[in-house]
Amino acid sequence: MIAQNTPIIPSASGYCCFLVGGDCFAVPSASVAEVLRDGRITRVPHAPEAVLGLLHLRGRIVPVIDMRRRLGFPVSILSANPTHLVLRLHDDWYSLLVDEMLDVIEVPADSIEHPSQPAADTPHDAVVGVFAGASQLVHFLDPQRIVQLPGRQREQFIHKQGATHGGF
């Protein structure tokens, strides 16, 4: 019997998988609010390189982060119907622009290999683990780190604007 104060830790966690630059990435499915197949992006002058602009989503103004730019991949031409993975982090919402949505997978926590030292202040600073799946390698991302842009992009934005907003 389990004591009432003992936390129940699941043996596996759900992760929402997507492709960026041909590589598979995943974020905890609990962070995902919804997936949009289109949406008009309003450009923001002098925003960090990875921030494409803002998306108006049912009364919310949501920053759009291009995951190709955020993760250091070559930039591609936006499709007519981009795929937005909308994250909810506390009371803030963010849209991650991804190449393609895949599936939700369950991965046991002890099957994820974690880096010995985080890649601080690089495009890969949000990668917190990897899992060798049957068909491909899955890179796990920390949603909070995704929205905290690397220092170089933050400094350029602060220098141009003089202030920051949210996770920028």
Q: Are the CB atoms for 94 and 57 separated by under 8 Å? A: no
pLDDT per 10-residue tile (average), the chain, 168 residues:
39 84 94 90 91 93 94 81 91 94 91 77 82 90 88 46 50
Instruction: Walk me through the domains of the chain, giving residue ranges and CATH numbers.
Output: 12-161 (2.40.50.180)
3-state secondary structure of 139: strand
Token pair 């890179």 is found at: 139
pTM exceeds 0.75 for this model: yes
pLDDT at residue number 166: 53
Distance, first Cα to last Cα, the chain: 46
Q: Are the CB atoms for 30 and 110 separated by under 8 Å? A: no
